[in-house]
């Protein structure tokens, strides 16, 4: 029995999709446990480019059952679109299981997300993806949400849908929110519901039974530790637990079932949306990372904010996640650099700290303290083993391991599935 969890160690966009795809080779089941279609997991296979938002990246390996578990918020219309996209590319989606306990993102959630984001001023803006994620989790927490399983009983589902849709119009339209066309929205949701009902399952049982039967289960996280609702840079976070603890509540697997935690860490830092980002670069160096790394959001297309690796933040995140192994991605993006910096401490006023501040206002005013390392100034994109890496690249990776108190398990040197090696 073995269960691996894979999580993002930074602000998301670490390249989790690709690492999941690589780890899926040894997995018998892949499970998404939190978030929704705010995620954008990119995988390249022999020049073919796939972007997945909701369906576990494991779907790209034929025969691996994929599960969307209870901790996920699911937009039925978008899920069906993603299934159709995969079908049109000859990927079999018939085995996808959707938790009866997942919460549904309904049309009004997207309108509320956009309304709140567009009317927020200054530092009140979060920079959300406007996919309705926060409002759907709010409905879960205030117990008005609709769960996936309700779609089975059409009469009950339609009543719950219409009651909530009308409540939205009553409450939000007078405040300036967009009016929801309830009939059009229902038609669209109904069509998606008809496709999804056969996929509904008690996935808590599915996953636990697979584990009990010796199937290797891979739990796929989305976003990253600093977007975690509890452990991230609140309020500039998403609305779920993106850290490894969320994998238990989000699947129904008990904590002791988890046998290893993989943390995906990009060789530098990026962030999309608002919120403090201590190592952000505003100069041509930042521009270089954005261009070289193709740092534009897979979900919204927004340019990502870029900066040097922040080892203070990553060490904290590895601690919270209990990372056993790091998968370091996009090492090749640094290939041309003469020098590479790593943030090893923060200055706050006249104090130097090596721990991650718990308050976002403190984080916003820290000054990063950098250590400078020589670059390797040679291409790593064709390298497939540790010993062939340039010595300076090995030194950089070893320093990351040392600073984050973690072991390196995988290195990725390009977007393709094959440009990856185990350490």
Per CB under 6 A, residues contacting ligand IMP are 12-13, 38-40, 126-129, 131, 133-134, 222-223, 227, 236, 238-239, 272-273
Helix intervals (H) in 213-327:
246-249, 284-293, 311-321
Identify which of residues 235 and 374 has a Cβ nearer to ligand IMP in the complex: 235
CB of 321 to ligand IMP, least distance (A): 16
3-state secondary structure of 58: helix
Catalytic residue among 21, 26, 41, 230: 41
Identify which of residues 53 and 160 has a Cβ nearer to ligand IMP in the complex: 53
φ/ψ of residue 412, rounded to 5: -120, 130
CB of 131 to ligand IMP, least distance (A): 5
- For residues 16 and 221, what is the distance between their CA atoms, to the nearest angstrom? 8
H or E element: which one contains 32? strand 29-32
Distances from the Cα of 168 to the Cα of 115, 129, 190, angstroms: 12, 20, 19
Note the Cα 298 to chain centre separation in Å.
11
Residue whose Cβ sits closest to ligand IMP: 273
Note the Cα 175 to chain centre separation in Å.
32
- For residues 227 and 141, what is the distance between their CA atoms, to the nearest angstrom? 18
CB of 256 to ligand IMP, least distance (A): 29
CB of 159 to ligand IMP, least distance (A): 28
Torsion angle of alpha carbons 185, 186, 189, 194, nearest 10°?
A: -150
Hunting for tokens 């996808």 — which residue is that? Answer: 96
CB of 274 to ligand IMP, least distance (A): 6
Tell me, yes or no, if 103 is annotated catalytic: no
Strand partners, 372: 341
CB of 387 to ligand IMP, least distance (A): 33
Catalytic residue among 13, 21, 75, 310: 13
Tell me, yes or no, if 13 is annotated catalytic: yes
- For residues 42 and 142, what is the distance between their CA atoms, to the nearest angstrom? 33
- Residue 101 exposure: Cα atoms within 13 Å on the Cβ side: 15
Identify which of residues 6 and 227 has a Cβ nearer to ligand IMP in the complex: 227
Identify which of residues 237 and 397 has a Cβ nearer to ligand IMP in the complex: 237
Query: Could you tell me which residues come within 8 angstroms of residue 235 by beta carbon, excluding any fewer than 6 positions away?
Result: 126, 360
Identify which of residues 13 and 21 has a Cβ nearer to ligand IMP in the complex: 13
Residue of 73, 5, 410 whose CA lies nearest to 238: 73
Identify which of residues 128 and 344 has a Cβ nearer to ligand IMP in the complex: 128
Q: Which residues are catalytic?
A: 13, 41
């Amino acid at each position: 029995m073995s269960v691996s969890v894979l999580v993002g160690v930074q602000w998301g966009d670490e390249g989790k999709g690709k690492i999941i795809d690589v780890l899926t080779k040894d997995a018998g089941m892949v499970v998404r446990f939190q978030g929704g279609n705010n995620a954008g997991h990119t995988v390249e296979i022999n020049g073919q480019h796939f972007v997945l938002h909701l369906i576990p990246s494991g779907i790209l390996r034929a025969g691996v059952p994929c599960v969307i578990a209870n901790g996920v918020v699911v937009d039925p219309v978008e899920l069906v679109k993603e299934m159709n996209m995969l079908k049109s590319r000859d990927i079999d989606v018939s085995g996808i299981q959707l938790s009866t306990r997942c919460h549904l993102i309904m049309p009004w959630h997207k309108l509320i997300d956009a309304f709140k984001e567009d009317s927020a001023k200054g530092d009140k803006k979060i920079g959300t993806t406007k996919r309705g994620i926060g409002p759907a989790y709010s409905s879960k927490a205030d117990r008005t949400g609709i769960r996936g399983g309700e779609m089975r009983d059409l009469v009950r589902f339609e009543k719950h849908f219409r009651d909530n849709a009308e409540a939205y119009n009553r409450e939000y339209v007078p405040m300036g929110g967009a009016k929801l066309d309830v009939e059009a929205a229902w038609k669209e949701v109904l069509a998606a519901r008809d496709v999804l009902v056969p996929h509904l399952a008690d996935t808590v049982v599915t996953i636990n039974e697979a584990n009990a039967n010796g199937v290797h289960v891979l739990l796929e996280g989305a976003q990253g530790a600093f977007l975690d609702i509890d452990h991230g840079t609140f309020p500039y976070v998403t609305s779920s637990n993106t850290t490894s603890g969320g994998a238990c509540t989000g699947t129904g697997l008990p904590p002791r079932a988890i046998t290893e935690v993989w943390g995906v860490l990009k060789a530098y830092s990026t962030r999309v949306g608002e919120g403090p980002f201590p190592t952000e670069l505003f100069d041509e160096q930042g521009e270089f990372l954005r261009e070289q790394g193709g740092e534009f959001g897979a979900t919204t297309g927004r340019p990502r904010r870029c900066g040097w690796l922040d080892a203070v933040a990553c060490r904290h995140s590895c601690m919270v996640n209990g990372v056993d192994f790091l998968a370091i991605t996009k090492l090749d993006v640094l290939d041309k650099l003469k020098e590479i910096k790593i943030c090893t401490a923060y200055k706050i006023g006249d104090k130097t700290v090596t721990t991650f501040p718990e308050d976002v206002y403190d984080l916003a005013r820290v000054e990063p303290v950098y250590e400078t390392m020589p670059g390797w100034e040679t291409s790593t994109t064709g390298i497939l083993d540790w010993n062939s890496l340039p010595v300076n690249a090995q030194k950089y990776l070893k320093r990351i391991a040392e600073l984050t108190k973690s072991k390196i398990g995988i290195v990725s040197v390009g977007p393709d599935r094959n440009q990856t090696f185990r350490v």
